[in-house]
Every structure is written in structure tokens, then in C-alpha cells.
Structure 1
Amino acid sequence: MLREMGIELFWPTAPVRDAALVAEPARLAPERTPELAPEPATVAVPAPVRPHAPEPAAAPQRPAPAVAEAPLRQRMPGVAGMEWEALAEAVAGCRACRLCEGRTNTVFGVGDLHADWMVIGEAPGENEDLQGEPFVGQAGKLLDNMLAALGIRRGQGVYIANVLKCRPPGNRNPLPEEIAQCEPFLRRQVELVRPKIILAVGRFAVQTLLQTTEPIGKLRGRVHRYNGVPLVVTYHPAYLLRNLPDKAKAWADLCLAQQVMREGA
């Protein structure tokens, strides 16, 4: 089917040398949604009882959370007003959640700071964590080929970023609190780039940006909006490496995004 549509000419898939890059990551599995581990139960310890004068039991105490519950904007004031240099420094030094403990590099974003296109994925993987750049490896090469089919080159006319700036351990699914901590950084990046179109790739990126639990299959073919910018959803390149027939659907998504961008919707 791809040969008939000529898509294989646009998106050649290079031989995969690293099986770990081709294997569909757990974070892309459409049938699985992340669940938070239940909070440990606490047991109330009664106060000592004096003869003939019993005292009421002490109120149970909640264990202190590992991360402060205050919103990011309270702990890091001014994110909404930061320019590029300050924003990059804030991301590099961020310790708002426990992802900072295992990262090699933060993955801020890369590309044209005033691009018409913005591509947003979910989170860094192993290669991204090592290199500090989003979408590298085999999935990154496929994304570059997808953009090249539209006449776009990485670094020229497109800015690429992720919802999360640090790699989740073992490429697991992002947790809601991790997404909440990083979202102000991404929102500010969108405000600074001011793209004409956002291409959201992968289930978690799509569901995070649109605040929905609907699968990609039900969200494709429509124009959505994030922070006032038109947004089109499509499959993650890593998913397409394992599901080649869906390249045809992804090509249709790219054509829709290009049409929206040109019309200035």
C-alpha cells in the first residue's frame, strides 16, 4: 500500500542496528495508561493512657511527600516571563521532581526559535538523555524524513521539543505529577516560538496537550488547539517503525498540518 501511494520514497527506513531502538517502547503502547502507586497507609499511634484519666488518641499523620505539592509557578516564579536563555537555565537546573536524580542531560529542545512548525513529543529516551537533544536515533531519522517530505529540515523552519525534559527511568510512562511540573516550560517554549502549527506525536504528548484520554485514532483528522495554536496529532515515529502500514495515516496527518499552516487557521 505504501509503495502504491509513493510514501516509501519520502520516508525510507534505515536498517535498524539497535534492536532496543526499534522495539516499541512501553510509553507508546496505546492500551496501557499509567497508574499512580497507592499511598502507603499510615497507622494512628494512641497517646499513653494515664490511670483514671484516659487521653484521646493522637491524630494520624500523613507521610511527607517526596516532592512539595506547591505548584511549579510558586517554587519557580517568573517562568511565564522568561526568555530563551533564562528558560534553558531553569530547565537545566530544575529539581522539581525525582526525574532529575537519574538524568544524564536535560533535553530542552532544538531548532529554529521562530519556526512556523513545532513538533512536540512525549519524553526523552536513552539516546536523547545521552545527547541532550530530542528525537535522535532511528525514530529521529524517521521524523527527519517525515519533515523532509514537506520540505522542512531539522534546524530550519521547525522547533522540536518534548513534554518532559528528563528521561523517565527505563522509558516508562510519564507520571501525572511529572507532566504537571514540566508543562509550564513547554507552554513558555510555545509562547516564544509562536508557531503556526503544532504537530503532536505519540499518545502521551497528544493526551497531555489536549487534556484528554481519547486515543490517537479518534483525534486524528481534526484540528485542535494548544495555547491558541492549531494542533494536529499523529503517531510517534518509534511506533511507525513497528507499524509500517500506518505511515500512510501519518502522511495524511502531515498533509493536514501543512494545509492548516498554509491557510493560517
Structure 2
Amino acid sequence: MSRSEDIRNEVYRFLRQQKEFRYPDPILPGFKGIGKGSAIAAASTAAGATRKTAAGTIATTAPASAPAAARTDLAGARAELGECTRCGLHGQRTNLVFGVGNPNAKLMFIGEAPGADEDRKGEPFVGRAGQLLDKIFAAAEIRREDVYITNIVKCRPPGNRDPHPDEVTTCNPFLLQQIDAIQPQLICALGRFAAQTLLDKTEGIGRLRGRWFDWHGKRLICTYHPSACLRNESYKRPVWNDFQMLRDAYKELVEN
């Protein structure tokens, strides 16, 4: 099979998957961090549109469409991803980092990309940032084994840089499959890049954190990445405030 046929087949598979999930406007290269109208951007914030809940204020309107009723199988998504060589990130990786946790989790955490420790072990959040995240989990009474953890992209970018648009585009279908399979009711975006990518926003994490967004009928909150807290301890207080909001919403789900 020629290279051009390979590319056509990949594009066809991706667009077909977008149609199956009923996400409008497939994400395409050419954005600065995030493309306007991208498939992964699920919530268009309406100015001033908020609603009160027991766990805080949701600062957006509901999205125009939701994932299809047909559920993706998590193991099937992993099998389809295989030993992925769809973008240039595969050339320097040690291990692909798909995700880990409860396949029926009510709460899902999405970070940016694997780091060096994650690349070596093949699991997300196992280095210093992961150790801090575990401490935050314990303080918030969230058990790691009860949640699901993954990243926007599944391979480590060189030098821990932000993923490039084509890399996000390539991994996007598999992240959507993970979300569709798990059907979490709460999502926490860890860090600026994950928050901006999921929400299709350009604001900094300092402006996005501390409030709830509707994301295809799921409630999404953003906070600083644990690695940012390791670099700047002043972020620990707002992270804890965000996790208190998350804890309250999570407890409400678990107890009801």
C-alpha cells in the first residue's frame, strides 16, 4: 500500500469515527494550541450563563451535541491504537501511555502528555507530579483505583514540550473513545494545555480554573498541573480549592 493510500485510510477512519461519536467539526491542524471549533472542544461558553448546583457554579451552557449512545469498548480502543506509529512522537518513545484506572469510573482526569517517568513505565502520573497528585487524592478522599487517568496525547513529546496540533489530531479519536467507553460524569483537566484543548479556549489556566463547565453533558473542572505546583508552591492553594469543589461533587455522585 502506498503512503498516500495510508494517509487517505487514516483520514477516512478518523472522519468516520467523528461521525459515529457525533462530534461536529473534526479537529484539524493549524491552531495555536487549540483550533476553533475543534472536535475535542465540547463546551462553548455563553457569557453570563451559569447555574447553581450543590457542588458549585457551572459557568457554561450545555453543548449542542453529545456522544452517541453506542458505547466504545475500552479494551477495543487500546487494541485499535496498538503500537501506534501515526505521528512522529512514536520515534522517541519508550512506552505508549494509554491510561490507567477504573473502566467504570465516575471521575476522569486528563493531563497533557506523558513525562519521562511515565514514558519509562507506560503509566500516567507516576513521577514526582504523580506522587503529588496521589497526596492530593488522599487529602481529597479520592482513591486512585476508583478513577481513570489519561492524557491528551499518549506519547511523550521531546523535552516535555506542548504537543503539536498534528499530534493532538492523531490522538484525539482515542481520547474520545476512552471518554465514550468510561462515560465519566466528572472530568478534571490537569494543566493549561489539557484545559485549553478540551474547552477550545485560549485563556490561561488561572482564568479557567475554579468553576464548572458543561462538556457534552459531563461536568468538567480545570486546575493547575501537579508539575506546576512543584515549580511554584503558590499554586498549591488554588489547586486544593479546586479539589475541594471536585471532592464535593464526587461525593455527591458516589453517595446518591
Normalization by structure 2: what TM-score?
0.71
Deviation at 1:196, TM superposition (A): 2.0
AA matched with 2:179: V
Match of 1:161 in 2: 150
Q: Does the alignment pair 1:248 with 2:237?
A: yes
Is residue 72–residue 181 contact of structure 1 (8 Å, CA) maintained in 2? no
Of 168, 192, 196, the match for 2:185: 196
2:126 is matched with 136
- Name the aligned partner's letter for residue 199 of structure 1: C
Tell me the distance in 1 between the aligned counterparts of 2:229 and 2:11.
Answer: 34
Which structure has the larger Rg?
Answer: 1
**Corresponding residue for residue 113 of structure 1:** 103
In the TM superposition, residue 152 of structure 1 has moved relative to its aligned partner by 1.8
Give deviations 1:161-216, integer Å, cap 9, x for gaps: 00100111121211011111111111111111111211111111111110111101
Find the residue that maps to 1:251 and give its secondary structure.
helix
Counterpart in the other structure of 1:222:
211
Letter in 2 for 1:128: E
Whole-angstrom CA distance in 1 between matches of 2:14 and 2:188: 30
Change (3 A) 1:248 1:168: same
Q: Which residue of 2 aligns with 1:123?
A: 113
Separation in 2, partners of 1:112, 1:182: 21
1:89 CA displacement: 1.8
1:150 and 2:134 equivalent? Answer: no
Is 1:74–2:74 an aligned residue pair? no
Unaligned runs of 5+ in 2: 22-70
Structure 2 letter corresponding to 1:109: G
Distance change (3 Å), C-alpha of 1:73 and 1:161? farther
Q: Give secondary structure in 2 for the equivalent of 1:232.
A: strand
Q: CA deviation at 1:88?
A: 1.0
* Alignment pair present for 1:95 and 2:34: no
Give 1:231's match in structure 2, choosing from 220, 242, 245. Answer: 220
% identical aligned pairs: 45
Question: Relative to structure 1, is the Cα distance of residues 73 and 236 closer, same or farther in structure 2, using a 3 angstrom cutoff?
Answer: farther
Are 2:72 and 2:180, in contact at CA under 8 Å, matched by a contact in 1?
no
Q: Count residues with an aligned counterpart.
A: 199
2:93 & 2:12 partners in 1: Cα distance?
A: 22
Deviations 1:44-80 (A, max 9, x none): xxxxxxxxxxxxxxxxxxxx99x94776552696696
| CA contact 2:72–2:178 (8 Å) conserved in 1 | no
Task: Give TM-score, length-normalised by structure 1.
Answer: 0.69
**CA distance in 1 between partners of 2:12 and 2:176 (Å):** 12
- Gapped runs of 5+ residues in structure 1? 1-63
Query: Considering only aligned residues, what root-mean-square deviation do their CA atoms show, in Å?
Result: 2.4
Distance 1:216 1:69 in 2: 36
Give the partner amino acid of 1:176: P
The letter for the 2-side match of 1:86 is G
Q: 1:213 to 1:163 in 2, by over 3 A?
A: same
Q: Which aligned segments of 4 or more residues in structure 1 are displaced greater than 6 angstroms?
A: none
Q: Secondary structure of 1:199's partner?
A: strand
